[in-house]
Every structure is written in structure tokens, then in C-alpha cells.
């Protein structure tokens, strides 16, 4: 025990987060590879179990075997636990138990929580964690009750309740796992509910609330008291709603006459499915349309949405909506010949712009690299299919054009690594490799380079 404490003290917060996720994924893979975890009572190959455990802990949703038909109830509960721990964060869960047993939260614990929640300071971090746990429980419970009530009209109450709990947690944590394959056939997803308003609206709300970020969620709940929102919340909500509106319009128009997706639906069904597919790429991972049958233009547009992803401080991946907003504002500022990047009458520090640019370029580099590597290991797949799968793994989205189930063993390893990078973020992984902060002792002379 003293050795564990010694290691804990020596590691910095990014290193602890990286190590924590690795341990959770390893434990999950060992449990999922047991015979009791599969519906047939046979051992799942360890690489497939590791893929599923990584996808669940990193709240991605990509699968190499159908969750509803391959895994037993025990295996599905393991996946459910991994989604909950991975979605809220293992440090959040550890803090919950510490608070329950009245244990002291050390400064090191608070620093790790600050890194996990992507906060700028330690002020109010424990209060935020309490709100995260309370809001998560209430939202997941509400979602489970509504979904269970909807499915109880077709299924026994116990089965409907189980489906409600599983999918409520899966969608709120933005994991995207579903067990509908047990009812409608392997890999069917939620395609049978494409024009079901109750299922669609509830799932979309769960994905939105889980992906908007816990800090913003707390501000929304407290809005009646404070009567105002922070700059961060304004940027997150406005950008999220803008992307949702644009995504709905683009998908609705592109797929309007596609007989393989929305062409056979009513007008309201087409609109509802377009709205759902606009929300889901933002790290949700559920689908009511067959992604592989969409037009290439729609598939590429979904790649862009997956790359942007969800909000900071949420369980979602991608470069985050705030990064996208800052870059868009910076481009607009430069085109107007101005110096300061301004959002909602607030000037942003240049450091924020540099970090947004660094995050975007690092993410693009990782996606390009893994797309090239997968094009070698999966020579029969098209470039768009590979790019779609890689971006889905990076954005911890879980949408697939069908390549994941056909991956070779090297391809599975590459996607596992990509899901891990996507959940922690390229910058967190880079910081975990740093030995310490090196101060700049001098500055180089200023130089000029011609651009454009």
C-alpha cells in the first residue's frame, strides 16, 4: 500500500489519468474475456475483449462483436460499469466513495480532479463533483424511466426496465453502446425507432446533456439564481445549437431523396432522423439510419461533426466545440484585420488561441497518421471508410460505416490506441510524458516569415 501511495505522489495529474484509464481498461478486458461474460459461455478472444473494454471505458461505442447478442447479462453489466466510470471519470467515482465515507480529499486528489474536469482552478472543485454526481444520477434515472415506460408497451416490464437503464447510461455518458441486437438482430442499432418521437427525443436530450459539459450543466441548473451565464457556457451553448441546426439542415437535404435512408420516411420522419443524426456525431454514437447507406457527402459531413466533438469537461471527445469556436473567431478576426479575438464582447488571451490551434493541428496529425496506417492494414477498405472509422474513434463517437467488425488484428490495435488518445486528448497524453516544467531562461530574437 505504501508503494502505491509513493507512486501516486510522484506522478503528475495527466500521468495519473492515463495510468488510471489503462488500469480500468485492463481490468475490464480481463472480465469480458471470461466465459461467464459471453452469451455462449465461451471465452472471448482477449483482443476483442480489450477492444470492447477500451471502447466502453473511453465511451466510444465502436464494437467488433454485437453487444446485445454476444455478451451475457454479466458481460453487459461489466460494459455498463465501464461506461459509467469512463464517462464520469474514475477520479469522480473515487471522490464519490471518499465523500460517502467522509474521507479527506487531498490537494493531489483535487489537482487530478481539476485536470479530469478541465478546470482552470481548484476553487469549488469538490462542489462541482457533488453536482456532477447528483445531476448525472437524476438525468440517467429520468431517461431510464421514460425509455422503460416506452418499451414496456412492447416488452415485459423487467426487460423494458433493463433496456431503459442500459441505454440511458450509455447515451448520457455518450458511449453509444446499445443492446437492441438481442431484439432486432446483430448491429441493428436503433434503426427500428427511426421515426419514434419518444425514443428519439429522449436519446437526443441524453446525448446533449451528457456532451454539453458538467460545468455548463451546473450553470443551466443554477440559472434561476444567477440570472447569467459565463462566457464559456455562452460559447458552448451557442456553438452547439448552431452545429445542431446546420447539421440537421445538411443531413435532411443530402438524404431527402436517398431511398436507402430517409427516402421512404414521412416528412416528419425525415426531419426527426436528420435531427438525430446531427446530434449523434457530437460523440453520442447511436444511429437510427444505416450510416453505410448514406451518400458520401453526408458521410464526410458527419466526419467533420465527429472531429469537432462535444464540449470540454464532458465525457465526449473531439477537438471540442470551444476550440472550434475560438478558431472560427480567430479566422474572422484576421480577415477583418483586427488584433483581438472577441467572443460575446470578451477579449480572449492569445494563449487560448495558441492552445486551440495546437489542439486542432495535433488532432489532425494523429487522424492523418492513423488513417495512413489503417489504409495499410485494411487494404480492401475505401479511404473514406477508414477516415470515418478513425475519426469516430478519435471523437469517441462510435458511429461506423461497417469497417470495425471487419478489422484485422493490427487494425483493431490501431483503433484501440486511437480510442484511448481520443478519450484523454492528445495534449493530456503529451503532458503525461513531460518530466517537469522547464522555464525559459532567455528569448530568441524576433523573426519574420512571409505567409500567404
Rounded distance, CA 422 to CA 401, Å?
19
Which pLDDT belongs to residue 5? 60
pLDDT at residue 11, rounded to an integer: 67
Which pLDDT score is estimated for 112?
A: 62
Q: 218 is in which domain, residue-wise?
A: 9-429
Task: Pull the grid cell for residue 50.
Answer: 480489450
CB 92 within 8 A of CB 125: no
Long-range contacts of 129-138 (CB under 8 A, 24+ apart): 129/92, 129/95, 129/96, 129/99, 130/99, 131/214, 131/217, 131/218, 131/221, 132/88, 132/92, 132/214, 132/218, 133/88, 133/92, 133/96, 135/214, 135/217, 135/218, 135/221, 136/88, 136/172, 136/214
Flag residues of the chain having pLDDT under 50.
Answer: none
Residue 437 lies in a domain: no
Beta bridge partners of 38: 71
Kind and range of the H or E element at 326? helix 321-335
The total of other beta-carbon atoms located within 10 Å of residue 346's CB is 12
Give domain status of residue 56, yes or no: yes
Report the chain's mean pLDDT, rounded to a whole number: 87
User: To which H or E segment does residue 343 belong?
Assistant: strand 342-343
Please, what is the Cα angle at 421 between 70 and 425, to 5 degrees?
130
C-alpha cell at position 8: 501516486
The reply to whether 183 falls in a domain is yes
- CB proximity list for 294: less than 8 A, separation 6 or greater: 254, 255, 258, 260, 261, 302
2 in a structural domain: no
Give residues with Cβ within 8 angstroms of 341, minimum separation 6. 326, 329, 330, 333, 347, 348, 352, 353
Q: Does residue 448 belong to any structural domain of this protein?
A: no
Per-residue exposure over 331-345, b if at least 16 CB sit within 10 Å of its own CB, e if not: eebeeeeeeebebee
Residue 201 belongs to some domain of the structure: yes
* Contact criterion met (CB below 8 Å) for 248 and 274: yes
Residue 162 domain flag: yes
Residue 88's pLDDT is 79
d(Cα 170, Cα 56) in Å, to the nearest integer?
Answer: 9
* pLDDT for res 425: 77
Establish if 445 belongs to a structural domain.
no
Domain count, the chain: 1
Cα atoms in the Cβ-side hemisphere of radius 13 Å centred on 349: 3
Pair 85, 24: CB distance under 8 Å: yes
Amino acid at each position: 500500500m505504501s508503494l502505491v501511495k509513493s507512486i501516486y505522489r510522484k506522478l503528475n495529474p495527466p500521468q495519473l489519468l492515463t495510468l488510471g484509464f489503462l488500469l480500468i481498461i485492463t481490468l475490464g478486458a480481463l472480465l469480458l474475456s471470461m466465459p461467464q461474460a459471453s452469451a455462449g459461455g465461451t471465452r472471448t478472444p482477449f483482443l476483442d475483449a480489450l477492444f470492447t473494454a477500451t471502447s466502453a471505458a473511453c465511451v466510444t461505442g465502436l464494437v467488433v462483436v454485437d453487444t446485445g447478442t454476444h455478451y451475457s447479462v454479466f458481460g453487459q453489466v461489466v460494459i455498463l460499469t465501464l461506461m459509467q466510470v469512463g464517462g464520469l471519470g474514475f477520479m469522480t467515482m473515487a471522490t464519490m466513495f471518499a465523500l460517502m465515507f467522509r474521507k479527506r480529499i487531498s490537494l493531489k486528489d483535487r489537482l487530478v480532479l481539476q485536470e479530469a474536469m478541465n478546470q482552470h482552478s481548484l476553487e469549488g472543485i469538490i462542489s462541482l463533483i457533488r453536482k456532477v454526481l447528483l445531476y448525472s444520477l437524476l438525468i440517467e434515472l429520468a431517461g431510464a424511466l421514460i425509455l422503460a415506460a416506452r418499451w414496456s408497451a412492447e416488452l415485459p416490464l423487467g426487460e423494458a426496465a433493463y433496456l431503459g437503464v442500459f441505454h440511458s447510461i450509455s447515451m448520457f455518458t455518450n458511449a453509444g453502446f446499445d443492446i437492441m441486437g438481442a431484439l432486432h438482430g446483430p448491429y441493428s442499432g436503433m434503426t427500428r425507432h427511426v421515426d419514434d418521437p419518444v425514443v428519439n427525443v429522449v436519446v437526443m436530450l441524453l446525448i446533449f446533456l451528457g456532451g454539453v459539459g458538467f460545468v455548463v450543466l451546473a450553470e443551466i441548473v443554477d440559472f434561476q439564481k444567477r440570472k447569467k451565464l459565463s462566457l464559456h457556457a455562452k460559447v458552448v451553448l451557442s456553438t452547439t445549437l448552431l452545429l445542431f441546426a446546420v447539421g440537421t439542415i445538411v443531413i435532411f437535404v443530402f438524404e431527402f431523396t436517398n431511398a436507402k435512408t430517409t427516402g421512404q420516411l414521412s416528412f416528419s420522419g425525415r426531419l426527426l432522423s436528420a435531427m438525430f443524426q446531427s446530434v449523434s456525431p457530437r460523440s453520442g454514437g447511436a444511429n437510427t439510419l444505416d450510416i453505410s447507406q448514406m451518400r458520401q457527402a453526408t458521410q464526410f459531413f458527419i466526419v467533420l461533426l465527429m472531429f469537432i466533438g462535444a464540449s470540454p469537461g464532458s465525457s465526449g471527445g473531439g477537438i471540442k466545440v470551444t476550440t472550434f469556436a475560438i478558431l472560427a473567431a480567430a479566422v474572422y478576426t484576421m480577415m477583418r484585420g483586427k488584433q483581438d479575438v472577441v467572443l460575446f464582447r470578451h477579449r480572449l488571451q492569445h494563449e487560448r488561441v495558441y492552445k486551440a490551434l495546437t489542439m486542432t493541428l495535433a488532432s489532425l496529425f494523429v487522424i492523418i497518421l492513423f488513417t495512413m496506417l489503417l489504409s495499410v492494414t485494411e487494404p480492401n477498405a475505401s479511404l473514406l471508410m477508414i477516415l470515418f472509422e478513425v475519426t469516430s474513434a478519435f471523437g469517441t463517437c462510435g458511429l461506423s460505416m461497417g469497417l470495425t467488425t471487419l478489422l484485422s488484428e493490427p487494425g483493431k490495435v490501431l483503433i484501440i490506441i486511437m480510442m484511448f488518445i481520443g478519450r484523454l486528448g492528445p495534449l493530456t497524453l503529451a503532458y503525461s510524458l513531460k518530466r517537469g516544467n522547464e522555464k525559459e531562461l532567455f528569448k530568441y530574437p524576433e523573426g519574420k516569415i512571409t505567409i500567404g
